[in-house]
Every structure is written in C-alpha cells, then in structure tokens.
Structure 1
C-alpha cells in the first residue's frame, strides 16, 4: 500500500516568518528516512500505512508543541492499495505525457 500525504503545519503565534519552526519538522522527517518533497506551500511524503502517516503528523506537531501556543495544519491523504513508489511515479507519468506533447 502507498499512503501519499501532503501537509503543511506551522505556528500562527510566531510572526510572519515561520521557517525556523517548519525546519524542525523537515529535519524530523528527514531523519526518519522516508521519501519526501518539500514544496513552497507544504511537504509531501510517502509511507506504507495510514498508521505510519499519522505517526509522522503527530511527530511533526510535537516539534512545535513545546513553544508554540497555536498551530495550523492542513493534511491530505491519497491511499492506494497494491502500489508503492508513487511519490516519484506520479510525477514521472505526467512528465512523460508532457514530453510527448511539448516541443523543446
């Protein structure tokens, strides 16, 4: 099974720039060894079960909990049985289709 998760999480009580808080979460995800992609608006990662996905989300919150009084988060799941490696495959599929139609 493949569970793709796209999420953003950040404190709302720390001013305009929250990158130092977001970097805590990214460091934690990086240390897990799971595949992920940081984007300007959030992070996408892939795990093998919904339980693993929820553990990562919970761990992300725990990075902010000690010194953040208010945390905002949006989480999306794409769960598919019988597949793995979709973090790479979904992008590759679109790029292949674009390559057939776009002149370079």
Structure 2
C-alpha cells in the first residue's frame, strides 16, 4: 500500500507561521522507519504493509504534537494488495505513457 500524508501543527504561536521544525520531526520518524518513502514540498509518501505504514503515520503525528496546540493530518491511501515497488513504479509507468504520446503541435 502507498500512503501520502501531510501532518502539521497549528496554534504554534509563531508569528511567521512556519512549521518546518515540526515537519522535520515527522520526516525524521519516516526516515528512521526503514520503509520506502519520498518527501516533496507538500506530502510524504510511504510504501509498506497496512499496519507498518499506519504505525509510522501515527508516530510521525505524535512527533508533531509538541509543536502546537493541535495537529492536522491529511492522508490518502492507494491500497493494492500484492503490489510492491509502486512508489517508483507508478511514476515510471506515467513517464512511459507520456513518452509514448505524440508531441503537442504547439498551435
């Protein structure tokens, strides 16, 4: 399964609204998990079995709790039993499909 999630505190009291320290705490949990993962500017994706992925999401959320008075969690899951390597596989298939398309004519 693939999980894309974003976790951030609110009520931080920071005038600039920055949450990078809290996000760093969450990403550190993901990296320490040993599961395949990728972080972008908006989400972190993790691949693994249901229980192990959800345990990492919970631990990452717990890591953000000290940074504010509440935490927001956004989660999207792609549950496809028996599939592995989808973190990169889905992107590779997309790139292949794009490469097979005719180039736009620019008009």
* TM band (smaller chain): 0.7 to 0.9
Structure 1, gaps ≥5 residues long = none
Deviations 1:40-92 (A, max 9, x none): 11111101x21112101110112122343210111111111121000010000
Bigger Rg, which one: 2
The two structures, once aligned, show a CA RMSD in angstroms of: 1.3
| Match of residue 40 from structure 1 | 41
Alignment TM-score, normalising by the size of structure 2? 0.85
Moved over 6 A (4+): none
Which structure shows the bigger proportion of residues in strand conformation?
1
Question: 2:32 & 2:50 partners in 1: Cα distance?
Answer: 19
Question: 1:67 & 1:98 partners in 2: Cα distance?
Answer: 42
Question: 2:101 & 2:33 partners in 1: Cα distance?
Answer: 38
| Match of residue 51 from structure 1 | 51
Q: What secondary structure, in the 3-state scheme, does the structure 2 residue paired with 1:10 have?
A: strand
Alignment TM-score, normalising by the size of structure 1? 0.88
Given that 2:7 and 2:64 are in contact with CA atoms closer than 8 Å, whether structure 1 keeps it comes out as no
Q: What secondary structure, in the 3-state scheme, does the structure 2 residue paired with 1:65 have?
A: helix
| Match of residue 81 from structure 1 | 81
| Match of residue 69 from structure 2 | 69
Structure 2, gaps ≥5 residues long = none
Question: How many residues of Structure 1 are paired with residues of Structure 2 in the alignment?
Answer: 100
